Amino acid sequence: MKNILPRKPRLLLYGLACFLPRASSRQTTTSNATLACNQAQSILGDSTVQTPSDSDYAGASTAPWNLFNTQFKPACVVLPRNNTDVQVAMRSIFQFDVDYAVQAGGHSAMKGWNNVNNGVLISFERMDNISYDAAKDTITFEPAIRWGEIVATLESQGVAPVGGRIDDVGTGLLLGGGLSFLSPAHGFAADNYVELDIVLVDGTLVTATETNNYSDLFRALKGGANRFGIYPNSSFDAVAQAVFHYVRDVEDPNAALLLYFGALVLPDGTLTSFSIANMFYNGNSLPNSTYGELLSIPSISQSLGPLSWPELVASMAEPQPANGHGQLFGASVLAAGEDHDDLSFIDIVHKWQNFTFTFQSQINSTVLAFTPVPVSQITVGKERGGNAIDPPLIPYSAIQFQLTLPLGVPTISSEMEEGRQLFFQEAPRSPGFPLYMNECDVKQSVFETYGQYEFLKQTYMKYDPTRFNVRHTNGPQGL
Ligand SMILES: *[C@@H]1O[C@H](CO)[C@@H](O)[C@H](O)[C@H]1NC(C)=O
Ligand SMILES: *[C@@H]1O[C@H](CO)[C@@H](O)[C@H](O)[C@H]1NC(C)=O
Ligand SMILES: *[C@@H]1O[C@H](CO)[C@@H](O)[C@H](O)[C@H]1NC(C)=O
Ligand SMILES: *[C@@H]1O[C@H](CO)[C@@H](O)[C@H](O)[C@H]1NC(C)=O
Ligand SMILES: *[C@@H]1O[C@H](CO)[C@@H](O)[C@H](O)[C@H]1NC(C)=O
Ligand SMILES: *[C@@H]1O[C@H](CO)[C@@H](O)[C@H](O)[C@H]1NC(C)=O
Ligand SMILES: *[C@@H]1O[C@H](CO)[C@@H](O)[C@H](O)[C@H]1NC(C)=O
Ligand SMILES: *[C@@H]1O[C@H](CO)[C@@H](O)[C@H](O)[C@H]1NC(C)=O
């Protein structure tokens, strides 16, 4: 193990994005989709536009991490090599009025967000370049690269990017805001953008920065040593209380926490549950004032020590189930200001336990994860021109409820789906605080919880006045 602590993160320069999607499953007539595919193919060629009989079609359409998103059958898959190819594809999609989906890392648990039936799938798998400019202290990268590769590539330059926490996650993370272990000091990952290349729905390529003509688009697209201790179930209430105290009291921007409660079905069918605290501190020692309460709770095992940034990201790969499972996310948010108490933190853990216990015969595993968002993180975003999320200046925790189905099961029973929706209705949630996009369920109206909802709606109307994207691609609702 190398005795290196994470170093100063550098600014990010991010490749490419299509604008703000939404959910709804609608049919496009196969003929128009075929026309769009044929037109794109006549310009881009057979190797870039793959139809179901071509060799790279299956790989791209079944690439997503989430089994649900491997069940779609696009009319064709476009595999662009550069922005020009993306523009050509988007122009055809727009002209023939067809459904489409965009896939970068493909790690989303939102069903239908990165694949489509009878429409055009733009898969970025051939666009994974990355470079670092030491003079400008910026990273330039294309959408298909994953955070594990970015971190590994930049380690030799002594750069720790503010990006994903799990190595398999891709660059789409940024569009939802992005929670990093470096976020308390450096803001949401998206707060570190310098410049964005964006292909609008009609195929126009624009470059957006904080100060140019597309500054509104730039802001709207921002929303969008590691330590372990494993806690036995009997002390879950104490852990929930310690998380609340952490969120309320810790102001040190060098400290970050990802604490999750997990439950697994064992091979003999019994349920086991546990809690893991990933305590990240960017410094030479772990301050007792920050982590003392968590560390004083009896734990089965602890691993405390210095890690390099790549070692940290690699260590986060482990709890993540591999491809081939149906995945469903959902979010809540709990504030921990002076007026709040720890009861809602304890209550949501109990509701997660109840769900897991009720549906244990139909699941592989569940997770309830807490990510504190300190005031320092919110302030960084405001100083860098603001983002769409724009939370109140009160500390809160993003909360993710993850459901993993057994291997190879591509459907969820209606009773378990009802139980999941009941969880979202009844689990405590602080009004006025934003849900974290990348951890939400398709039915949760995330944009409505943003501080800049009105701004986001206006910006969306400006850049997509015919609401093309909302009508033709799946994703979050509310614009
Ligand atoms: C990606 O990198 C390769 C090799 O360095 C280069 O040939 C190609 O032009 C780059 N693509 C883009 C879009 O910059
Ligand atoms: C984009 O890539 C295509 C090959 O897919 C190539 O023919 C074209 O010249 C490239 N355009 C630019 C601007 O690099
Ligand atoms: C098919 O595309 C044409 C434009 O090329 C459009 O006028 C027509 O409405 C589309 N059909 C459907 C069913 O969307
Ligand atoms: C940007 O806006 C300025 C005036 O606000 C205008 O003169 C200029 O042409 C615009 N540039 C682009 C690329 O639209
Ligand atoms: C975990 O603790 C809860 C109470 O907090 C209890 O209801 C449940 O049975 C426990 N589960 C296990 C596996 O010990
Ligand atoms: C560390 O913090 C815990 C909880 O706040 C406290 O009980 C303990 O006494 C502290 N230890 C030291 C060495 O200060
Ligand atoms: C849960 O998923 C993991 C990872 O794919 C697998 O190893 C394990 O056997 C699964 N357990 C059950 C009960 O499905
Ligand atoms: C536990 O979950 C079941 C299934 O969703 C639900 O019917 C029941 O009301 C829940 N109980 C509590 C106490 O939340």
Of residues 75 and 216, more confidence is placed in: 75
Q: Best of 85, 125, 126, 129 to mutate for ligand 2, by most ligand atoms within 8 A of CB?
A: 85
Q: What is the CB < 6 Å shell around ligand 5?
A: 233, 236, 271, 273, 353
Q: Which ligand has the nearest atom to the CA of 81?
A: 2
Model pLDDT, residue 364: 93
Compute the distance from residue 213 Cα to the ligand 4 centre, in Å. Answer: 6
Which residue, chain included where needed, has tokens 């806690």? 231
Q: Best of 364, 402, 403 to mutate for ligand 7, by most ligand atoms within 8 A of CB?
A: 364
Find all residues with CB under 8 Å of 341, minimum gap 6, and list them: 244
- Taking only the tens place, the pLDDT of each residue in 453-473 is 999 999 999 999 999 988 898
Residue 451 is given by DSSP the state T
Model pLDDT, residue 25: 39
Find all residues with CB under 8 Å of 361, minimum gap 6, and list them: 269
- Taking only the tens place, the pLDDT of each residue in 65-106 is 777 778 889 999 999 998 889 888 988 898 888 988 888 877
Residue nearest to atom 8 of ligand 6 (CA): 292
Q: Best of 248, 249, 286, 288 to mutate for ligand 6, by most ligand atoms within 8 A of CB?
A: 288
Residue nearest to atom 11 of ligand 3 (CA): 32
Q: Is 232 in the pocket of ligand 8 (CB under 6 A)?
A: no
Q: Which ligand has the nearest atom to the CA of 212?
A: 4
Q: Which ligand has the nearest atom to the CA of 129?
A: 1
Q: Best of 83, 129, 205 to mutate for ligand 1, by most ligand atoms within 8 A of CB?
A: 129
Compute the distance from residue 62 Cα to the ligand 6 centre, in Å. Answer: 50
Compute the distance from residue 167 Cα to the ligand 4 centre, in Å. Answer: 40
- Distance, in Å, from the CA atom of 477 to the CA atom of 181, rounded to the nearest integer, reads 28
- Distance, in Å, from the CA atom of 164 to the CA atom of 258, rounded to the nearest integer, reads 12
Whether 367 contacts 402, CB under 8 Å: yes
Q: What is the CB < 6 Å shell around ligand 2?
A: 48, 81-82, 84-85
Residue nearest to atom 4 of ligand 8 (CA): 419
Is residue 232 predicted with pLDDT exceeding 60? no
Q: Is 351 in the pocket of ligand 8 (CB under 6 A)?
A: yes
Which residue, chain included where needed, has tokens 């057979």? 46
Provide mean pLDDT across the span 198-212.
84
- Taking only the tens place, the pLDDT of each residue in 260-275 is 898 888 888 888 888 8
Q: Is 5 in the pocket of ligand 8 (CB under 6 A)?
A: no
Is residue 152 predicted with pLDDT exceeding 90? no
Q: Kindly give the number of the ligand 1 atom that is closest to the alpha carbon of 81.
A: 13
Residue nearest to atom 14 of ligand 6 (CA): 288
Compute the distance from residue 363 Cα to the ligand 8 centre, in Å. Answer: 16
Which secondary structure element, helix H or strand E, spans residue 148, and what is its range?
helix 147-155
Model pLDDT, residue 306: 67
Query: Could you tell me the CA-to-CA distances from 91 to 40, 52, 197 in Å, in that order?
Result: 9, 21, 16
Q: Kindly give the number of the ligand 5 atom that is closest to the alpha carbon of 353.
A: 3
- What's the distance, CA 248 to chain centroid? 24
Instruction: List Cβ<8 Å contacts ≥24 apart for 337-340.
Output: 337/248, 337/394, 337/395, 340/244, 340/248, 340/430
Terminal alpha carbon distance of the chain? 48
Instruction: List Cβ<8 Å contacts ≥24 apart for 317-323.
Output: 317/148, 317/166, 317/167, 317/168, 319/260, 319/262, 319/276, 319/367, 320/166, 320/168, 321/364, 321/365, 321/404, 323/64, 323/65, 323/67
- What's the distance, CA 174 to chain centroid? 7
Which residue, chain included where needed, has tokens 């009609």? 202
Residue 449 is given by DSSP the state G
- Distance, in Å, from the CA atom of 466 to the CA atom of 128, rounded to the nearest integer, reads 31
Q: Kindly give the number of the ligand 5 atom that is closest to the alpha carbon of 233.
A: 1
Average pLDDT score, the chain: 81
Q: Is 213 helix (H, G, I), strand (E, B) or coil?
A: coil
- Going along the chain from its start, the domains and CATH numbers come out as 234-445 (3.40.462.20)
Model pLDDT, residue 109: 63
Find all residues with CB under 8 Å of 92, minimum gap 6, and list them: 36, 37, 39, 40, 120
Provide mean pLDDT across the span 38-45.
88
Model pLDDT, residue 24: 35
